[in-house]
Amino acid sequence: MLFDLDGTLTDPAAGITDSFRHALAEVGHPVDPSLDLTWIIGPPLRENFRIHGLPDHLHTRAVDVFRARHTDVGLFDAALVPGIVAVLESLRGDGVALGVATAKPAGQARTTLEHFGIAQHFDAVSGAAADGVHLSKAEIVADALRELGFDTARTAAGVEPRDGEPRNVEPPNVAMVGDRVHDIEGGRANRCVTVAVSWGYAQPGELDLAGPDHLVHSPEELLILLGALG
């Protein structure tokens, strides 16, 4: 089972939005402190700057400033979603392989997991490239699946394993759990069961349009669903 990080496992609102404001101010485009920026939690950083309207030639500098500030301060200005640790512990106790697929750089994701004491639950951590190269959520999910031992090129094509090959080249029995449309699209592109959580930062109507296979409203409901999926 794969999990998004920001908005799904953690509530990172203060750290992410403050780092975003800091980056905008540093490149000469400060925003009103009262402006709601929670919509930026989840999607790729460059996409957020584009949607916000920051001129293209400032994106690289803004990304660098954001990541520097976020690595030093913002990562730790967050909190675990209440009840999510019990979900991870229960799944691990049942022998389920777990991974993280996040738009965060993979190094930042690992730091976050270690800081909150949940890194030991995950067999794979996949995220954006540290050098700023854009990866879609579908590519990030595919990377996580490869870390878990799946041959994603062949599973996407529905190719059956040859004699003597491991059976994990069959289409993976994996659920992708997240709070934003990118998580649902990334999971669907990799033939995962898609599970949306309502406690994150999806905008009004976003999850309805995304059309996940399942929608849950609490970690307790999530655990019941994941257990039922087998």
- Active site members: 4
**Backbone conformation region of residue 32, classed left if phi is above 0, alpha if psi is from -120 to 50, else beta:** beta
Q: Which residues of 93-128 are buried (b: 16+ CB within 10 A; e: fewer)?
A: eeeebbbbbbbbbbebbbbbbeebebeebbebbbbb
Alpha-carbon Rg of the chain, whole angstroms? 18
The gap between the terminal CA atoms of the chain, to the nearest Å, is: 11
Return the bridge partners of 197, or none: 216
